[in-house]
Structure 1
Amino acid sequence: MENVTTRMSDEELDLVDRLAEQHDGSRSDAIRAAIRAGAREELVRVALQKYQHGEVGMRGAADIAGLTVAEMMDEANERGVLRNYDEADLESDVENLL
């Protein structure tokens, strides 16, 4: 592992300490867990935003998020992104896979 330093406000440190306490772990453990969860969530959010703007297809969104296409579609469905998904969208996504 590589050491990384950052400055944190008292409010941020309080959040980290509370998280560490809930997991019976250290600040470092809490920070790593929060970054993993937050980074994954942000990657999914960015990927779906790019998908909605037509910048990438479902495969591209999945690649950005580090998920399979099926997992990305599940995320999109859960977030209501695919409610307007039609046959033309499907054809476009299939073409992008090839």
Structure 2
Amino acid sequence: MPSISACIPDEDEDNLNEVAMLLDEDKSKVIRKALRERLADLRIRFAVEQYQTGEISTNQAARIAGISIAEWLEIARERNLTSQLPPADLAADVDSAREL
């Protein structure tokens, strides 16, 4: 497993220590969990933004977010997302969804 180093503000270190103690885990494990969860959130947020502007299709949004099309459609429904894609791209997304 590769190793990285980062400088963090004192308040973040205090928060990290507190969460590690609450979870009864070492700081490295907590950092890995936090990084994994936040990266997933960032991928979804980017996909939402790109989808809303019509830059990407449903399939592309799911791929960017790292989730299935069904999971993406659930996120889109929860967030009341509307696509700005042309009808041909929407038809391709419908075809892909039918293949599920």
Q: TM-score scaled to structure 2, two decimals?
A: 0.82
Aligned residue runs from structure 1 range 1-98, under 5 A:
1-82=1-82, 92-95=89-92
User: Cα gap change, 1:90/1:36 in structure 2, threshold over 3 Å: closer, same or farther?
Assistant: farther
Deviation at 1:79, TM superposition (A): 2.1
Matched-pair contact (CA < 8 Å) for 1:51–1:57: yes
Structure 2 residues without counterparts, runs of 5 or longer: none
* 1:48 partner amino acid: V
Task: Please provide the CA RMSD for this pair.
Answer: 2.3
The aligned length equals: 95
Deviation at 1:18, TM superposition (A): 1.7
Which one scores higher on RCO, CA 8 angstroms, separation ≥ 6? 2
Matched-pair contact (CA < 8 Å) for 1:59–1:93: no
Q: TM-score scaled to structure 1, two decimals?
A: 0.83
Structure 1 residues without counterparts, runs of 5 or longer: none
Identity of aligned residues (%): 29
